[in-house]
Amino acid sequence: MQVSVEGKLVEVSDGASCADALKEGLSGKRFKSALACKVGERLLDLTAPVPTTTGETPELTPVTADSPEGLALLRHSAAHVMAAAVKKLFPAAKVTIGPAIENGFYYDFDVEKPFTPEDFEAIEAEMRRIVDAAVPFERMDISKADAMKLFSDMGETYKVELVEGLDDGTITLYRNGDFVDLCRGPHIPNTGCVKAFKLLSVAGAYWRGDEKNRMLSRIYATAFADAKDLKDYLNRIEEAKRRDHRKLGKELELFTFHEDVAPGMVFWLPKGMLVRTILEDFLRREHLKRHYEIVQGPQVLRRELWEKSGHYANYRENMYFTEIEGDMYGIKPMNCVSHMLIYNAHLRSYRELPQRYFELGVVHRHEKSGVLHGLLRVRQFTQDDAHIICAPEQLEDEIIGVIALVRDLMALFGFQYRVVISTRPEKAIGSDEAWELATNALIKAVERAGLAYTINAGDGAFYGPKIDVKVTDAIGREWQLSTIQCDFTLPERFELEYVGQDGERHRPVMVHRAILGSLERFIGVLTEHYAGAFPAWLAPVQARILTVTDAQNAFAEEACEKLKQQGIRAEVDTRNEKLGFKVREAQLAKIPYILVVGDKEVESGSVNVRLRTGENLGVKTLEEIAALIQEDCAEPFKRGGMSYRFS
């Protein structure tokens, strides 16, 4: 039988395994690195026979750990190794599921006493024993009835429940040593391929994500192809802990949470609220410059409007509802419905298009308590939301205008980013024709803007396809921020119209867009991106004046007032503490400019300037330091052609 291995034709016997075929077509080193085999779009175990199709030559590609598919395969197999180790050490534990996830894997167990990090050493030691033994992963294809009996005899009730939910027919299991798991595979050849792994944390997780079910004990872990990659990742985790916005938010007095009275809601402290206000003021002014109009809609709308928009049928589980005088109202999860009602205040002419409505809109979305996470996942948040209602022929240009704003803001904050276009999901409203028009408009606009993109099939909003902008922060983590959604359907449902040049009524199209997204989430991301050291233009305190003794207090207060009059956010530290202590506290507070005042500075009417990094800029007059801070604030804006003064 003839097969193609990475484009090289080789001969193998009928019934040959994928490993046999790869061995013929690859070098020894390349073959040894193969964890599995890809035939077309199918991933197969190396032990699987080469699939044959009459008249076609099978195309085989090795899957290695340096590819996303290979790394996910390695991690999923590592989850089986971890489960096997847990069962060896804790025989009473019941196993449930253990998938690979973005940065590792987890496995959920039903145990009498939840696991703690103190259990990790023993589990990792047992995992190493299994890895050192290079135990093969063996595929087992059995009937549903036999699978039910097998897991029932083992006392694995969760596996029995999973098998019960499968269609009748062949059930696939995998065995490594004494451990058998329900899994469709494929898997790595043997446990010896799991060379570098680490258990990371524990958490509680409800079975099948349902709060009515039993709470399970989840162990999070990760695995890599080699020790260096694992070490680099663990270092990034430690850096992420140092940058955790919840920790920094408390230390820098930015925000706090009271989960006992308002879970998923943020309490903004004065300094944090100042950061947020600076951002909001900037966004309002920048949108006005780009010909948006600022609007605001109500917090609650009758249920009938949410039914008309499709949110009630497609988004109801994420909404809150309340009853007022016998009528049901939905607390808005989005601002689009209000903006369409604003548009419909009167009949528009084509000369009035496009209408660009901007709102820093407070919205509420129901999130389960288990997924709430500081500022990154909340129930109440504010979006820098806008809706552009335009004629179809204006659509591409409007999308390009939004892309230009995205580019400017990403440059301002120093983010690298990539673009993903998400297409129609299974749960959607609108005609196929409308979806095709909307999707093509997004693709053409992105291509005209000269941006590379990938397609994420089936992940669009229920009312239209979207562009998602995914940014990379200072330590290499990716966050989804900006979104641009194209919608032909809601204008139809809300009967939006405009009078065209021909005097006839026409249907406009709507662009939904948010650039920073949730301000809460964005500030959380930004706090971690900058490790709390906000750039000078955004820092709640730009300069702190420190006195050496009480003799300089009057001058320091006067200098602070002069800086404030020039727009500098300054404060004074006149405490009777050692200067070194006050400098250190200012550095820990991430204040960009630390201005020291002693007798010499009072005499010369100047300050001694230090940066939070420890660099000393020497003595400068108040006019010089004010100009320096203003220039520092203006510098990031120059990258996007924007003005720090918002003029």
Give me the catalytic one of 303, 311, 466, 513.
466
CATH number of the domain that residue 575 is part of: 3.40.50.800
pLDDT at 145: 94
Q: Which residues pair with 224 in a beta bridge?
A: 196
Does one domain contain both 371 and 497? Answer: yes
The whole-angstrom distance between residue 560's C-alpha and the CA centroid of its chain comes to: 40
Between residues 372 and 582, which one has the greater pLDDT? 582
CATH number of the domain that residue 168 is part of: 3.30.980.10
Does one domain contain both 230 and 311? Answer: no
CATH number of the domain that residue 49 is part of: 3.10.20.30
Does one domain contain both 59 and 84? Answer: no
Alpha-carbon distances of 334 from 323, 331, 518, rounded to whole Å: 19, 9, 11
Give me the catalytic one of 159, 218, 365, 424.
365
* Token pair recorded at residue 592: 């960009």
Written as one letter, the residue type at 402 is V
pLDDT at 531 over 50: yes
Give me the catalytic one of 159, 218, 387, 529.
387
- pLDDT category, 52, cuts 50, 70, 90? confident
| Boundary of a domain, candidates 11, 45, 64 | 64
Give me the catalytic one of 18, 37, 183, 336.
336
pLDDT at 28: 82
| Boundary of a domain, candidates 470, 494, 528 | 528
pLDDT at 646 over 60: no
CATH number of the domain that residue 350 is part of: 3.30.930.10
Task: Respond yes or no: is residue 387 known to be catalytic.
Answer: yes
Q: Is residue 396 part of a domain?
A: yes
Closest CA to 44 of 27, 26, 24, 58: 58
CA–CA dist 186, 268 (Å, integer): 49
Give me the catalytic one of 383, 542, 552, 630.
383
CA–CA dist 528, 376 (Å, integer): 11
- Dump pLDDT digits (tens) for 461-476: 888 899 999 999 999 8
Task: Respond yes or no: is residue 336 known to be catalytic.
Answer: yes
Closest CA to 499 of 353, 640, 336: 353
Give me the catalytic one of 45, 119, 181, 385.
385
- pLDDT category, 64, cuts 50, 70, 90? very high
CA–CA dist 556, 594 (Å, integer): 12
- pLDDT category, 54, cuts 50, 70, 90? low
Q: CA-based angle 294:297:300, to the nearest 5?
A: 160
Per-residue DSSP letter, 471 = E
Q: Which residues pair with 523 in a beta bridge?
A: none
CA–CA dist 94, 578 (Å, integer): 59
Compute the half-sphere exposure of residue 431: CA atoms within 13 Å on the CB side of its CA.
Answer: 7
Q: Can you list the alpha helix ranges (DSSP code H) found in 310-378?
A: 311-314, 336-343
**Checking DSSP bridges between strand 104-110 and strand 100-101, what pairing results, if any?**
antiparallel
Does one domain contain both 17 and 130? Answer: no
Task: Respond yes or no: is residue 385 known to be catalytic.
Answer: yes
pLDDT at 13: 85
Does one domain contain both 438 and 523? Answer: yes
599 contacts: CB under 8 Å, gap ≥ 6: 548, 551, 552
Task: Respond yes or no: is residue 587 known to be catalytic.
Answer: no
Does one domain contain both 487 and 568? Answer: no
Q: Is residue 159 part of a domain?
A: yes
Q: What's the mean pLDDT in 65-88?
A: 95
- Dump pLDDT digits (tens) for 334-382: 999 999 999 999 999 999 999 999 999 999 999 888 788 999 999 999 9
- Mean pLDDT for all residues in the chain: 93
Q: Can you list the alpha helix ranges (DSSP code H) found in 26-115?
A: 28-32, 68-89
Q: Is residue 392 part of a domain?
A: yes
* Token pair recorded at residue 557: 């207060």
Does one domain contain both 212 and 313? Answer: no
pLDDT at 647 over 50: no
Does one domain contain both 396 and 514? Answer: yes
* Token pair recorded at residue 462: 């229920």
Q: Is residue 307 part of a domain?
A: yes
Q: What's the mean pLDDT in 62-89?
A: 95
* Token pair recorded at residue 356: 């660009």
- Dump pLDDT digits (tens) for 113-162: 999 999 999 999 999 999 999 999 999 999 999 999 999 999 999 999 99
Q: Is residue 622 part of a domain?
A: yes
Does one domain contain both 582 and 619? Answer: yes
The terminus-to-terminus CA distance of the chain in angstroms comes to 73
Please give the tally of structural domains in the chain: 4
Q: What's the mean pLDDT in 591-608?
A: 96
Q: Is residue 538 part of a domain?
A: no
Q: Is residue 275 part of a domain?
A: no
Give me the catalytic one of 23, 159, 276, 512.
512
CA–CA dist 223, 230 (Å, integer): 7
Beta strands in 399-552 (DSSP E): 416-422, 453-456, 466-472, 478-487, 498-499, 505-506, 509-518, 543-547
| Boundary of a domain, candidates 32, 64, 96 | 64
- Phi and psi (nearest 5°) for 200? -110, -45
What residue numbers bound the domain in which 28 lies? 2-64
CA–CA dist 252, 264 (Å, integer): 20
Q: Is residue 300 part of a domain?
A: yes
CA–CA dist 483, 326 (Å, integer): 37
Does one domain contain both 56 and 74? Answer: no
Does one domain contain both 39 and 94? Answer: no
Does one domain contain both 472 and 584? Answer: no
* Token pair recorded at residue 294: 């600022």
- Dump pLDDT digits (tens) for 473-494: 999 899 999 999 999 889 999 9
Task: Respond yes or no: is residue 218 known to be catalytic.
Answer: no
